[in-house]
Structure 1
Amino acid sequence: MAAEDLIHVLTLCGNCSCGCPELYLDPTAPAEQRIAITDDFGNTIRLSGAQLGDIIELARAGSLDEAAKA
């Protein structure tokens, strides 16, 4: 993942300088790896736009509420 290829979409915290999780779009990656999420520990996960869409729909439906409380 070359940083210059990534398009920053959002920062999930942004209220500190602790390396908050961030969401990126990588237009040069294969479709199944186009979404990149970095965490505050230096790790990255890759998923497709469809997988991200599934997560968004689950969140909207309330399916992730309990996980968010953990």
Structure 2
Amino acid sequence: MRNVTLIGKPGCHLCDAARDTIVRVCSETGATWEEKDINQDEELYRKYWEQIPVVLVDGAQHDFWRVDPERLRRALGA
């Protein structure tokens, strides 16, 4: 099963839009997803602060700032 991770922060409008896309695509494809708050993890903060929201697919960086639903579907094998 494929897994999508959204790395973002509360109050981020781009993160909200990314979450909406991820929820929709994961429900269509059967992939699981999780969300991580960049403010709660020093390593994620150092690595991704200037790119949030960041989307990982199976642990590998897939997108940042904006999530293209078609590109995410393809990455998930749909």
TM-score (norm: length of structure 1): 0.30
Q: Of Structure 1 and Structure 2, which has the larger fraction of its residues in helix?
A: 2
**Higher relative contact order (CA closer than 8 Å, sequence separation 6+):** 2
TM-score (norm: length of structure 2): 0.28
